């Protein structure tokens, strides 16, 4: 009787929490529970399932068609944390404004943002995309080839970013990176940014765009760019990709040079 009364007393609080955080519960269901179930049922990884869908629902050699198929799958079938179409338009606009010749992507995952960047590059530009997971990198490679991009446009590097960045100058003849897109492990944003600085790969005017800085968040990265005095910066606020009610944002940084 007492335990029942206690349960009833906590019921309003429980309902309030469920209503308040309902979008996070939905995200957990789509991103975690559905993934575990389908991994067991299909014997394939989520990224492999995404590739199969894109392969059968897009036009080879058409990057727009491939991105549309990705967006439909992530929105209607299974959740994958790509930059998505809405934040993707911000990325598209910045790339169009900057027309970078040398682009570095940290975190290719299964190739969505890689295709999105590659299709926006000016003639003669080159994209270096770093992905540490070999399985995901293999899928990204297939997606890139399906979209029609070859090694002259995109070079996919399979290794952790902290191992590749110090070797970009010696192994890949990179003197400066015009544009950096960060969408890998959020805990790596700050050390990788500082490594780019230390290796002299950022020049005055180099642009860095970092996704998901508000959710799941990169607080140390944001704190550093506020205090360092090395960057002009702003936050592009948006909703989390392929979800409702969860606020997110991208940080756009313009390097001002080492003082």
Task: Give the residue carrying structure tokens 């179930």.
Answer: 37
Is residue 90 within 8 Å of residue 250, measured between CB atoms? Answer: yes
**Catalytic residue flag (residue 75):** no
Q: Which of 87, 136, 186, 252 is catalytic?
A: 186
Q: Which of 47, 48, 183, 192 is catalytic?
A: 183
**Catalytic residue flag (residue 241):** yes
Backbone φ, ψ for residue 202 (5° rounding): -100, 130
Strand order from edge to edge, sheet including 177-182: 154-158, 126-131, 102-106, 177-182, 202-210, 247-255, 231-239
Report the distance separating Cα 83 and Cα 90, nearest Å.
Answer: 10
DSSP-assigned states of every residue in 68-123: HHHHHIIIII------HHHHHHHHHHHHHHH--SEEEEE--TTSHHHHHHHHHPPT
Cβ contacts of 106 within 8 Å, gap of 6 or more: 130, 161, 180, 181, 182, 183, 184, 188, 192
Q: Which of 131, 212, 248, 252 is catalytic?
A: 212
Q: Which of 78, 192, 211, 252 is catalytic?
A: 211
DSSP 8-state secondary structure symbol assigned to residue 187 = G
| CA 131 from centroid of its chain's CA atoms | 11
CA nearest to 145, candidates 47, 53, 61 = 61
**Catalytic residue flag (residue 171):** no
Report the distance separating Cα 216 and Cα 55, nearest Å.
Answer: 30
Q: Which of 141, 192, 241, 248 is catalytic?
A: 241
**Catalytic residue flag (residue 212):** yes
Q: Quick count: other Cβ atoms within 10 Å of Cβ 110?
A: 28
> Can you read off the two tokens belonging to residue 131?
């992905």
Q: Enumerate the active-site residues.
A: 183, 186, 211-212, 241
């Amino acid at each position: 009787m007492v335990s029942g009364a206690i349960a009833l007393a906590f019921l309003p609080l429980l309902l309030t929490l469920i209503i308040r955080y309902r979008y996070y519960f939905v995200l957990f269901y789509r991103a975690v529970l559905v993934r575990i179930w389908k991994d067991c049922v299909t014997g394939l990884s989520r990224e492999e399932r995404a590739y199969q869908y894109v392969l059968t629902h897009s036009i080879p050699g058409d990057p727009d068609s491939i991105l549309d198929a990705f967006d439909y799958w992530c929105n209607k079938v299974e959740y994958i944390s790509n930059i998505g179409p809405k934040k993707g338009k911000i990325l598209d606009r910045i790339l169009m404004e900057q027309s970078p010749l040398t682009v570095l992507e940290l975190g290719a995952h299964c190739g969505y943002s890689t295709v999105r960047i590659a299709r926006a590059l000016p003639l003669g530009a080159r994209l270096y995309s770093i992905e540490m997971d070999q399985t995901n990198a293999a899928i990204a490679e297939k997606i890139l080839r399906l979209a029609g991009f070859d090694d002259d446009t995109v070079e996919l590097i399979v290794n952790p970013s902290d191992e590749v960045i110090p070797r970009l100058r010696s192994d890949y003849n990179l003197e400066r990176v015009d544009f950096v897109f960060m969408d890998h492990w959020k805990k790596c944003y700050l050390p990788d940014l500082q490594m780019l600085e230390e290796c002299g790969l950022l020049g005055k005017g180099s642009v860095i765009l970092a996704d998901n800085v508000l959710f799941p968040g990169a607080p140390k990265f944001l704190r550093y760019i506020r205090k360092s005095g090395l960057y002009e910066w702003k936050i592009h606020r948006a909703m989390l990709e392929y979800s409702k009610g969860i606020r997110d944002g991208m940080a756009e940084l313009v390097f001002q040079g080492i003082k």
